[in-house]
Chain A
Amino acid sequence: MLKTLLKIFKVGVVTEAYLPNKDAKLECIGDACKKIIDAKFAGSLAIRHVDAGSCNGCELEIHALNNPFYDIERFNIHFVASPRHADLLLVTGPVSRHMESALITTYAAMPNPKLVLAVGTCGACGGEFGCSYASSGKVANAIPVDGIIHGCPPTPLDLLQGILELLH
């Protein structure tokens, strides 16, 4: 236990604080998100993620949002296990035809008001996979989409920026 505590103290807090020459961009975007979330979402934005057919690259960057550097929970953004608890649906990937129904059902299970963000080049326009017998292409082909975050995959900062732009 002692070694654990010593390591924790040695590493310290790496969450990027607002310093002029540190990650000001992250902090600005995050703070802006927090203000809107406080005003419009009673201080908490609940996100449900669904992979509609991605290659898993976007998921890695969404995971990174919860690492100690980005730590989005301090901006009052958190991920939830059920669409019934969610304000925002984050959808990655082109929509594989085998996931179409599950995606539609998940969207339908979200109570109003609800928002949808299509993540990544695939979510935005079908990416390398486009429309075919197996893929119905961009997320907007399956459910209504309120915003798009471009990238292959979008970085954690891109994701946060995308959420902010949607909330504006």
Chain B
Amino acid sequence: MYMSNKEAHKQLIQLLDIKIKLSSGYSLPKIGKMPILSLSPNNWQKAASIAAKLNYRFVSMWAQDLNNIFELNIVLELHNSYLLLRALIDNNAPTIASFTPYFLAANLLERHTHDMFGINFSNHPDNRRWTRHLAWGADQFPLRKNFPVESLMTTPTPPDSNYPFTQIIGSGVCEVPVGPVHAGIIEPGHFRFQITGEDILKLEIRLGYTHKGIEKIAEGREVNSLIKLAGRVSGDSTAAHAWAACAALENAINLEIPNRALYIRAIICERERIANHLGDFASVCNDVAYTFAYYQLMRLKELWLRINAQIFGHRFMMDCIIPGGVTTDLNSENCQALHKQISDFKLELDELIVIFEAHFGLHNRIKTTGILTAEQAASLGVLGYVGRASGHKFDLRHDVAYPPYDKFKIHVPVFNTGDVLARLRVRFQEILVALDLIDQLLNTLPSGAIHTPWVAPNKVVEGIGLIEGWRGEIITFVRLGDDNLVERYFPRDPSWFSWQALEQLIQNNIVPEFPVCNKSINGSYSGVDL
């Protein structure tokens, strides 16, 4: 349903009773095309309540320390139209209403913002620290300008052994701590189970173990250095995060990117999507001992990565997307090789899916396992393949198409069962869509430059980038100072929402189903820890 920005947000603005200068309609300041609604902190709760009633989706939140005042930002979305809410908060007594009672999706982001800035979200239902373990104290806030980036700790940081996990008390209830070090080759995180026998009564997830201060060390970087950092927020999404950060920068100075560069960016991003979906499908099957699928798909993934290395110079195409365009061009030989691999893969996948769909043992384990209902998905604001397996069709490439996707018709597969099987099927369909898309991108590849030089703005600018990474919608905010260096960088990976979904969908499952449920979500740890 298409609705212009004006139409989409008119109701919210009217209900908030805000006086906006009218000429032939209202006109709000913008970042790119995103209108900014500045509110007084007193109106924040009212805004949350009205937005929730109007069925807005919570998209992102971040704060800024603007020297003597904090600025809180929330992005909402309705009918494919985004809106940025802003409030200025007194930094001597930084308190503002929480959005969490109205939007569950705001939960972890508000706790993170508290840990990093010291902003108190009154009536937030959970006052426990999130990102902060013990590397800094309760009265310290790393993203405040007066907090030095160098460490204050000289001894090894103690483990966070006394974190108050919620417990279930009762006869026969056991508490099982898992992690941060896990049995397999995987990122670190803590999973605290409350169980009776094998039944999971409750799962609480605690992350923050790979917190590297990305937001803090982004400050003071020049743009190329920022993109290098962005590409390492979450290694498996290196291309998507780099593109989102570039898009934010380019949005900030209104830099037009050559079409050929945009097409190559999309080819890179779609190749990243396919590589991860192959690996995920393989790993989900491995977690239920279906090793035939694991080895066949990991074989295909290896072939895929080798072509990436051959054509783009890096198996994961890291550092290929830069401000202004891309680093590698494609000649006709490259295009032929890419086309050939796609047609080879289509044949392989056609054969394999018949085998997978007929396998009783696989289906027995993953059908009806780890169900995330459509209502749960909506209330948690989940995105990407997790949302699409539970009936939520939103895909930036289709619904808020950015170049070059605005030139193509993107098919978005949706399933409604919300179980592990659905999350596999969505990924498989997305692989097929992406294979076709790369073919089309190659067939219509425009001629021209692959890069345009960055133009230093020499003034304060802000930009927002929105990219459909393989996990879902990435929204990245960048602010540059008048010295052209980064003042603020906040990448919102879609995993912020899917981790919460995991806590919900695991209920009513047994402990041995946890690995496959976790893998079916495959949230990024470092993408959230920052």
Chain A positions within 8 Å of B, measured between CB atoms, are 3-4, 7-8, 11, 14, 49-64, 66-69, 79, 81-82, 93-94, 96-102, 104-106, 127-136, 142, 152-153, 155
Contact = CB atoms under 8 A, between A and B. Distances in A.
Given A51-B210, A55-B232, A130-B217, A153 B157 contact: no
Given A51-B210, A98-B208, 4 more contacts: A3-B351, A4-B355, A102-B159, A134-B212
B232 to A, nearest CB: 5
A104 B228 contact: no
Complex A-B, nearest 7 residue pairs according to Cβ-Cβ distance, in ascending order: A57-B235, A134-B213, A97-B135, A81-B183, A55-B235, A101-B159, A67-B298
Given A102-B159, A133-B150, A136-B151, A49 B232 contact: no
29 contacts: A4-B359, A8-B292, A51-B188, A53-B526, A54-B526, A55-B234, A59-B235, A60-B235, A67-B301, A68-B302, A69-B302, A96-B209, A97-B133, A97-B157, A97-B211, A98-B134, A104-B156, A106-B181, A128-B232, A129-B213, A129-B217, A130-B217, A132-B150, A132-B216, A133-B153, A133-B216, A134-B142, A152-B318, A155-B309
B277 to A, nearest CB: 13
Given A67-B301, A128-B229, A131-B151, A102 B180 contact: yes
A56 B157 contact: no
Interface in B291-326: 292, 295-296, 298-299, 301-302, 305, 309, 315-316, 318
Contacts of B232: 55, 57, 127-129, 152
B185 interface: yes
A79 B186 CA distance: 12
B354 interface: yes
Contacts of A7: 296, 351-352, 355
A131 B135 CA distance: 13
Interface string B127-166: 0000001111000001000011111110011111000000
Contact of A57 (B152, B217, B236, B525): B236
A14 B525 CA distance: 33
Contacts, number: 178
A14 B235 CA distance: 27
Contact of B316 (A8, A100, A127, A153): A153
B235 A133 contact: no
A132 B419 CA distance: 41
A51 B186 contact: yes
Contacts of A51: 186-188, 210
Contacts of B529: 96, 98
A82 B182 CA distance: 9
Interface in B266-312: 279, 292, 295-296, 298-299, 301-302, 305, 309
B212 A132 contact: yes
Contacts of B318: 57, 152
A67 B150 contact: no
A53 B210 contact: yes
A135 B136 contact: no
Contacts of A136: 151, 156-157
B169 interface: no
A61 B147 CA distance: 36
A96 B148 contact: no
Contacts of B359: 4
Contacts of B352: 7
A98 B135 CA distance: 7
A51 B160 CA distance: 17
A133 B152 contact: yes
A101 B156 contact: yes
B184 interface: yes
Contacts of A135: 212-213
A155 B315 contact: yes
Given A11-B296, A130-B217, A93 B210 contact: yes
B238 interface: yes
A132 B213 contact: yes
B150 A50 contact: no
A52 B182 CA distance: 12
Contacts of B184: 79, 81
Nearest to A122: B232
B358 interface: yes
A58 B315 CA distance: 12
Contacts of B229: 128
A63 to B, nearest CB: 6
A104 B228 CA distance: 29
B476 interface: no
A96 B298 CA distance: 30
A53 B298 contact: no
Interface in B498-526: 524-526
Nearest to B236: A56
Interface string B235-267: 110100000000000000000000000000000
B76 interface: no
